[in-house]
Chains A and B, each alone.
Chain A
Amino acid sequence: MFVYLIYIPILIILIILGFFVFIKNRKSPVNISFSLFVLSIAFWVFALIFADGLKNYEQVFLWNQLAMIGPAFVPVTFLIFVIYYLKEYQPSIFTILALFIPAIIILIFIPTKYNIKEIKIRDWGSEVVPGSLYLFFLGYIIIYMGCGLYLLAKKYFRVSGLTRMQIKYIFGGIFLGASLGVCTNLIFLFCGISNFSILAPFSALIMSVCISYAILKYQLMDIKVIIQKGLIYAMLFGLTFIFYSLIIRLLTELLENSVQFISAMTVFISSLFIVLTFKPMERFFQKITNRIFFKQEYDYSKTLSQLGEALNEIVQVNALVKQVVKTLSRSLQVRDIKVLLKNPKEKIYKVVGVNKKNNKIFEISIKSEIAKYLLKNNVAINRDWLQIKIEENEKHNNKNYQEIISKLDQYKVVLALPLIFQKELIGIMTLGKKLSGDPFSEKDIGLLSIFSNQLAVAINNAWLFENLEQKVKDRTKDLKRAYNELSKIDKAKTEFISVASHQLRTPLTAIKGILDMSRSGDFGELNELQSKYISKAFESNERLIRLVNDLLNISRIEMGRMKLKIENFAIDSMIRSVMEELSEHARNKSLSLILKTKANKKYNVSADPEQIRQVLVNLIDNAIKYTDRGKVVAKIIDSSDALVVGIADTGRGIGQQDLKYIFKKYTRAKYETSRYIGGEGLGLYIVKKILEAHNGEVWAESAGINKGASFYFNLPRK
């Protein structure tokens, strides 16, 4: 009876454990090898129920022989599990098969006398006299389990965190369990002590409990969530069956011995029944619990693709975060998801998208332990894992971890993920508890980690885009302002010139009018001397008027405001008219003004007549001004591609060096400046500008000082 009470729950736990690990991931060699390991133990326990429970010698002998089948596979499945779990080596299929050789040898020798020499049935069970196969098994188990444990121990000192804790419990469980099993069922047997073999199943219990603990607490093989719920049902079933078996046993005690076998079979069948019906049952219960806990199954790839869409399509940070929070909340069924983004000015991380409006807004300082941890490790902070770390008393960082946890608890955050872009922590994503109350699974955290990396990139892109938009806006604004200011300045300048020239011209006009009327006798006849000087006054006044006009012209040119009014006109007539206008000045200096043209030829040209007139006035007036005796000759050379006008004088000439400067503003030939001659140095500059506007050129030639000068300009024909 004692046997059943101990063996049956252990058996049930082992079968369920093996089964769950297997269905969790049917393709993972870690899960497969672990399941086989557990089931091997389970089969051993199963055989022991009969070996220790039955009284019939032959049956007991048989079951004791069969009890070797399970243990034959325990060391090898354990070693393979360790190899796959640690991921240090990539074993080939041949290596794996080779590892099974000792197990096969044992299987072959099971029905022989090398296995069990003799069985003595005692009232506490059956006493086994081991054969030499047991010795072989002892060596086999010590070498294999020793290797497995050695590999675990080696890894243990090189890793940290969750894996370290997992290894700790696997190692502890296996070491204790295997030691106990080896002692009670092998070493003690050789020493002739059999009555401890009853304790053997405890070794299996220790192993299963330790590994279950690692699974539950440290997410070994990530079946925590299922186990948590599954265990409840399993326990329920297990208890029912223990209770049931107990009654059967009591009944058999009262009735007949042979019923023992039936009851043992009942246990086996009922276990099988649980296993087979569990999946549909689980679905059934999950549906019910989902309704209770608002939990919905989510599709990993669908969630990722939905999130991916948001990342690709949304370019505004706020909208992006909102969409992401919405999608994540829906698929993960999480209470609060927040995205905090770096605010470099205030040196804090601030919430951007909020799941619920009535939530407290929280901030995380850039200097906080959370931010430091996330940046340094670039992994999610899981509040529960951190708590475990503290409990495990990893002395260093303990205080910092405590600080992180209290901050997380303050805002009911369970999971915090780093948003890292180019080694900078640009933000933090925090998640509250799941609506179901379940912890976050490895899968959830995997999904969130992958996603948070993408989110960081997307946020950075959105920032860049927003910055760019802002910059464009700012620049446009600046440009507009600058343009407005320039327009104002331009307007002011134009007004100033307009007013200034108007104010200057008014008195000049009065002088001009009075002098002109005086010299033409409107105010009475003048004598020769009076007439001469009135004329000189008139000339000077004319120059002053031209100066005002030039100034107006210069500013117009420099503001780019000179607009040509192109007309077709006869340039020879214009030269004659200009010469006529300036004839008085020439006459005063006894100079003759001559225009050389071919008889009866019309020299038509397309240009702005007012501007060209200004050019001619300037050039001819200059020639008169700088010539003391002789003549000023104008000639026109007409060709198919351009019309060239030359103004030649017999005056003072221009020095070779001065030739290049004379078309510049405010410069005059050196020679001139040494002897005062009225002029303003603007004339030739204006001439040059006007001709440039007409796509024409102006140039000067001179044989030297006192050898006269010639000015030419051309107007291209289009």
Chain B
Amino acid sequence: MAKNQKRILIVEDDEILSDIYAVKLELEGYEVIMAAEGRKGIEAAISKQPDLILLDIVLPKINGFEVLKILKKNKKMKTTPVVFLSNLGQDYEVKKGLELGAVKYLVKSNYTPAQVIQIVKEII
């Protein structure tokens, strides 16, 4: 189990959703860190060095796009895969997210937690 212990950071302000994803990820054997707002997300990312970040966009204080921009400027975090997990689904939003350097852009409502984890597995 230990060698499989990958660390996932969930930046999500909706408690129910972050709880669901956390439960599902832990069931799958991942270590989960959670942050409910953008700034805390950045702090957690830098201090905890996760293997993958599930990043929401609509967040208090700093939105997900800004968070990603800051992370991409950070030497240590530059290469960490980030998956946008948002319910914003307009074309231009998806486009923007991918341009900023996200590995994937998932519209939350179109994926079950199991499907999200499937994608996480494919990435790391």
Interface residues of A (CB under 8 A from B): 494, 497-498, 501-502, 505-506, 508-510, 512-514, 516-517, 520, 522, 545, 548-549, 552, 556, 561, 563
Contacts and interface: CB of A to CB of B under 8 A. Distances in A.
A565 to B, nearest CB: 9
Q: Chain B at the A interface: mostly helix, strand, loop or mixed?
A: helix
A582 B20 CA distance: 24
A491 to B, nearest CB: 12
Nearest to A508: B109
B91 A505 contact: no
Given A517-B114, A552-B89, 13 more contacts: A501-B89, A502-B87, A505-B109, A509-B17, A510-B16, A513-B17, A516-B112, A517-B24, A517-B113, A522-B23, A522-B27, A548-B109, A552-B90
23 contacts: A494-B90, A498-B93, A501-B87, A502-B86, A505-B89, A505-B107, A505-B108, A506-B17, A509-B108, A509-B109, A512-B109, A513-B17, A513-B20, A513-B113, A514-B20, A516-B112, A517-B24, A517-B113, A517-B114, A522-B23, A548-B109, A552-B90, A556-B91
7 nearest CB pairs, A to B: A505-B87, A516-B112, A505-B109, A513-B20, A509-B108, A510-B16, A509-B109
B55 to A, nearest CB: 15
Among B21, B88, B90, B91, max chain A CB count under 10 A is at B90
Interface of B: 14, 16-17, 20-21, 23-24, 27, 58, 86-91, 93, 107-110, 112-114
Nearest to A548: B109
A357 B70 CA distance: 69
A511 to B, nearest CB: 9
A563 B95 CA distance: 12
A497 B90 contact: yes
A506 B87 contact: yes
Contacts of A548: 109
A580 to B, nearest CB: 13
A495 to B, nearest CB: 10
B88 to A, nearest CB: 5
A517 B91 contact: no
Contacts of A505: 87, 89, 107-109
Contacts of A556: 90-91
Contacts of A512: 109, 112
A510 B17 contact: yes
B87 to A, nearest CB: 4
A563 B94 CA distance: 13
B14 A510 contact: yes
Contacts of A516: 112-114
A686 B24 CA distance: 35
A522 B24 contact: yes
B88 A517 contact: no
A534 to B, nearest CB: 13
Given A506-B14, A520-B114, A522-B27, A513 B21 contact: yes
A548 B108 CA distance: 13
Nearest to B91: A563
Given A512-B112, A517-B113, A502 B58 contact: yes
B95 to A, nearest CB: 10
Nearest to B13: A506
A509 B87 contact: yes
Contacts of B88: 498, 501-502
A561 B91 CA distance: 9
Contacts of A520: 114
Contacts of A517: 20, 23-24, 112-114
Contacts of A501: 87-89
Among A509, A556, A563, max chain B CB count under 10 A is at A509
